[in-house]
């Protein structure tokens, strides 16, 4: 049940962000420009791609780090920062990748084990891929919010 409260909290925080952005609309703003995030539902394993406005990314203070390789007991392993891990309400684990500026794609991962701030994964994005370490919960909240509409 702990995860359900987190998702609800994230949705509420993101809703507040959206409402605060609504008060500064301009009569020359198009419908597409008025939303701080554009959510696209994709086919296959990757469920969504989200594109933020520059202002939305600044408000969320989006930060990233790279997936890296390390050697553990002679084996090459991929390591993701613990701050990048997101659990959905089914308990599945994800990270948000950043394939290009202001664009974020939720990517499934398989966690082998966690050691301190390092998460060792057997399946996930390739090494060198930027993953969101600050703002992932808000991105997920935006995705969930738009699925309900």
pLDDT digits (tens, 9 = 90+) for 44-61: 655 778 899 999 989 999
**Contact, 80 vs 131, CB < 8 A?**
yes
| Residue written as token pair 């701030």 | 117
Residues 99, 65, 35, 39: is their CA dihedral positive or negative? Answer: positive
pLDDT-derived band at 120, boundaries 50, 70, 90: very high
| Count of structural domains within the chain | 1
CATH number, position 139: 2.40.420.20
Domain range enclosing 55:
2-23+36-147
CA angle at 42 for the pair 41 and 46, rounded to the nearest 5°:
110
Look at residue 110 in the predicted model and tell me its pLDDT: 96
Asked if pLDDT for residue 141 goes beyond 60, the answer is: yes
Burial 75-105 (b: 16+ CB within 10 A, else e): eebbbbbebbbbebeeeebbbbbbeeeeebb
DSSP H helix total and E strand total for the chain: 3, 11
Residue 56 resides in a domain: yes
Q: Is residue 63 part of a domain?
A: yes
Residue 28 covered by a domain: no
pTM over 0.85: no
Render pLDDT for 70-103 as a digit per residue (tens, 0 to 9).
Answer: 998 888 999 999 999 999 888 999 999 999 999 9
Predicted pLDDT at 144? 76
- Within a domain: residue 82? yes
Q: Is residue 8 part of a domain?
A: yes
For residue 138, being part of any structural domain is answered with yes
């Amino acid at each position: 049940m702990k995860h359900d409260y987190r998702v609800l909290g994230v949705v509420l925080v993101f809703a507040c962000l959206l409402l605060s952005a609504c008060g500064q609309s301009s009569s020359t703003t198009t419908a597409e420009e008025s939303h701080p995030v554009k959510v696209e539902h994709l086919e296959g394993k990757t469920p969504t791609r989200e594109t933020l406005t520059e202002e939305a990314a600044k408000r969320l203070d989006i930060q990233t780090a790279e997936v890296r390789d390390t050697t553990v007991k002679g084996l090459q392993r991929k390591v993701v920062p613990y701050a990048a891990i997101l659990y959905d309400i089914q308990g599945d684990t994800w990270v948000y990748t950043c394939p290009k500026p202001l664009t974020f794609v939720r990517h499934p991962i398989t966690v082998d084990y966690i050691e301190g701030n390092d998460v060792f994964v057997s399946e996930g994005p390739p090494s060198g891929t930027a993953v969101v370490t600050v703002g992932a919960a808000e991105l997920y909240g935006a995705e969930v919010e738009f699925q309900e509409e």
